[in-house]
Amino acid sequence: MAVLLSIEEAQALVLERARSLATEHIPLETALDRYLARDALALVDLPPFPSSAMDGFAVRASDTPGQLAIAGRIAAGRPASSPLGTGEAMAIATGGLVPDGADAVVPIEVVVEKGNNVDIADVASVGAHIRPRAGDVREGELVVGRGTRLGPARLGALAAAGVDRVACAARPRAAVLATGSELRRPGATLRPGEIYESNGLMLAAQLGQAGASVDRLPLVPDDEAAHREAIRRGLELDILVSSGGVSVGPHDLVRRIERELGVEEVFWGVAVKPGKPVAFGVHGKTLVFGLPGNPVSSLVAFELFVRPAVLALQGAAEPLPHFLSATLLRGIRRNPHRTELARARTRLDDHGIGIELLGGQESHMIARAAEADALALVPRGEGALGAGETIRYLPLG
């Protein structure tokens, strides 16, 4: 591990190799959290017709103030059968089609209905309480751009604009492989020297959250044949993420077996703490990530290198982590050699967002990391950062 890459260099090497997967057309109903492969345009004007913003009376503004004859009643989805005449008003519900001839709506709260007439005391201005046709978006205009993730609001916007199917890159299929002879599944009884396996579940959860469909491979001991068999299966999918066995010990088999199976290693070693021995390679179209076994290293390396790849395969326009800014609540020492992603908690107060590092920053301390809601980015360098300085952080989902 002679030269360590910077985080940004390593991310660039990953993204160069993470091309968007083939496009499929899917029902909007199933498109939550998918990324658009093409711009989605409005199929209709929105609103499609001038509609009332209030329950009230549709009138000609020039007839107000005054007493008007009620010429009809309009509900949402039930337009008037004839235009509004001079001296007339029509009762109209919110969302009702404003009839031809009307150019204002007077809210029900400010009128007095008397039999078949309505008294309007004030002058109505032209356009009052009318949502003009296409005031939101015009037919053919952009509703959601390509590369954008479809959250609930965007799904709603597309449905409103008449879109029922969208073009999205396929969801990546990912394999997760946990390696280590010391690992037991939770629920089993531990023998001396054993620990519970946690990375497989954690990585599967991170992959699933990022949009991949996940295939968890059986846990493998530090045995060559078992590694070979499991890795071969993982190489059939779009992404293989393994944990453990990428350091320099005699039992660290992952990189050697991967190389033997034809994986071209792109890098091994990034100047980041935790996560330094992370390995990345490719095998045909499969992206192959070897994450270090310490659980916090796995967690962090996933966020920095694997999540961007999963998002890029889905065609995300901005696959890299989105860091935010916060004010340090307590001073911290910097690491001269490696940028650190420290487990931290954020706090919102009158001055904005403050951030504080948690105790227990070692890379095996996953229970401590569970308290974190953020990874604070502490850039490598000499000296300390004082309370009150601004640093960047990555929110943890």
Residues that bind ligand AMP (CB under 6 A): 178, 180, 182-183, 195, 197-200, 243-245, 247, 292-295, 364
Residues 6+ apart with CB under 8 A from 233: 175, 217
Question: Residues 261-300 vs Mg ion: string with x where CB under 5 A?
Answer: --------------------------------x-------
Minimum distance of ligand AMP from residue 393's CB (angstroms): 25
Residues 173-192 that bind Mg ion (CB under 5 A): 180
Minimum distance of Mg ion from residue 354's CB (angstroms): 38
Distance CA 328, CA 334 (A): 13
Most distant CA pair in the chain, distance: 94
Q: Which is nearer to ligand AMP, 198 or 327 (CB)?
A: 198
Of 11, 25, 27, 46, give the one whose Cα is nearest residue 267.
11
How many positions of this chain bind Mg ion (CB under 5 A)? 4
Minimum distance of Mg ion from residue 338's CB (angstroms): 21
Q: Which is nearer to ligand AMP, 80 or 296 (CB)?
A: 296
Single out the residue of 50, 56, 147, 244 in contact with Mg ion (rule: CB under 5 A).
244
Binding at 290: pick from ligand AMP, Mg ion, none (beta carbon under 5-8 Å per type): none
Minimum distance of ligand AMP from residue 30's CB (angstroms): 32
What is the spatial order of strands in the sheet that 264-268 belongs to?
Answer: 213-216, 173-178, 239-243, 286-291, 279-283, 264-268
Distance CA 266, CA 45 (A): 49
Q: Which is nearer to ligand AMP, 90 or 207 (CB)?
A: 207
Residue closest to ligand AMP when measured from CB atoms: 293
Residue type, 379: P
Q: Which is nearer to ligand AMP, 253 or 309 (CB)?
A: 253
Q: Are 278 and 292 in contact (CB under 8 A)?
A: yes
Binding at 211: pick from ligand AMP, Mg ion, none (beta carbon under 5-8 Å per type): none
Distance CA 355, CA 28 (A): 39
Residue type, 16: E
Q: Are 259 and 195 in contact (CB under 8 A)?
A: no
The residue ranges that bind Mg ion (CB under 5 A) are 180, 244-245, 293
